[in-house]
Amino acid sequence: MIKVEELSKEFGSLKAVAGISFHVTEGEIFGLLGPNGAGKTTTIKMLTTLLKPTSGGAIVAGYDIKKEPNNVRKSIGIVFQDPSLDDELTGRENLEFHAILYNISKQQRNSKISEVLKLVELEDKADTLVKFYSGGMKRRLEIGRGLIHEPKVLFLDEPTVGLDPQTRRHIWEYIKKLNETSKVTLILTTHYIEEADYLCNRVAIVDHGKLVALNTPKALKDKLGGDVISLRTNGDTEKLHASLKSTKWVRSMSSHDSTLDLTVEEGEKRIPALMAIAERHNVKVDSVSLHKPSLEDVFIHYTGKSIREEEGSSMDAMRAHRRAWSGRR
């Protein structure tokens, strides 16, 4: 359904997307995982023809994004990261306006709007002004609006950002149900680790505009293998990291947030040895935890930082670049 080849986008000296390649099969829920500023949204904007690539290209629903942008637009639906509903219209009116833009006949509009309202469970709120909707209701209406012209691919850009955990979980269940019933191909961008793990058939981890890992969530976690031991120190994480570099039973290590994460075999047996090494190097360990690899551990393994750290640093870098670029203009 989607084939991406060496897709790149540059804004001045900033390489927002640096030559990524991947494919998405029909009916798949495919996730782009990474912090804000990693290149996820820029990739989506290129695939939906809102941005022109600097180099490379992509085929979406059988159409070239550079040569056939109008056909691409007719074949896709989009749920934007930022709210895009008209609060002064009702839910029904928002759907009707969108249907008119896609040249759906009046007879078809009425039946399609009723079908979509039922699908997103908003039949009883159809004639209520959107400004009185909850955050979750607005998100469901936006998803329904993106489906009204029966697209082959639906792009969801951070679909649950800003929602409370309970509403977010409800949207997850709805997305899964939507994929099962409509068989539409879903492309999901998110910086919520648990969202990608729960929803996606496959996940691509994007870091600084590059694709650093791509597989099913299970395969990515299995690739790390062993157990993960997390040691929170009093600030001497790097000192402990250096002292463990030559330890044969440590498969991999990464430091973040004053915490050292180690992937090891038989983790419960290694904790006493780790505590002894820390004591020998005068490193105070405040806490120890042991768990099987998670998608967060995968992210740390490939990027060297937790997704929360990456989100902050990427946003700071993006803001600095934008200020500098605006000054040049």
Catalogue all structural domains in the chain, each as residue range(s) with its CATH number: 2-220 (3.40.50.300), 226-292 (3.30.70.260)
| Average pLDDT estimate for 78-84 | 87
Percent of the chain with pLDDT over 90: 52
**Do 90 and 133 contact (CB within 8 A), yes or no?**
no
pTM: 0.77
**pLDDT on residue 318:** 40
| Average pLDDT estimate for 280-299 | 88
| Average pLDDT estimate for 182-195 | 90
**pLDDT on residue 36:** 73
**pLDDT on residue 320:** 44
Residues for the chain: how many in total?
Answer: 329
> Does residue 231 have a pLDDT over 50?
yes
**pLDDT on residue 26:** 95
Crossing angle between the packed helical segments 295-303 and 217-224, to the nearest 10 degrees: 70
**DSSP assignments along 4-53, one per residue:** EEEEEEEETTEEEEEEEEEEE-TT-EEEEE--TTSSHHHHHHHHTTSS--
**pLDDT on residue 315:** 42
User: Which of the four pLDDT bands, split at 50, 70 and 90, describes residue 97?
Assistant: very high
> Does residue 246 have a pLDDT over 70?
yes
User: Which of the four pLDDT bands, split at 50, 70 and 90, describes residue 289?
Assistant: very high
| Average pLDDT estimate for 81-104 | 93
Q: What is the pLDDT of residues 290-302, one digit of tens each?
A: 988 889 888 888 8
Residue of 165, 160, 183, 206 whose CA lies nearest to 303: 206
CA distances from 200 to 31, 217, 221, 275, 313 (A): 6, 8, 14, 38, 26
**pLDDT on residue 16:** 94
**DSSP assignments along 166-186, one per residue:** HHHHHHHHHHHHHHHHH--EE
**pLDDT on residue 306:** 61
Q: What is the pLDDT of residues 124-152, one digit of tens each?
A: 999 999 999 999 899 999 999 998 998 99
Retrieve residue 35's tokens: 């912090």
**Do 144 and 119 contact (CB within 8 A), yes or no?**
yes
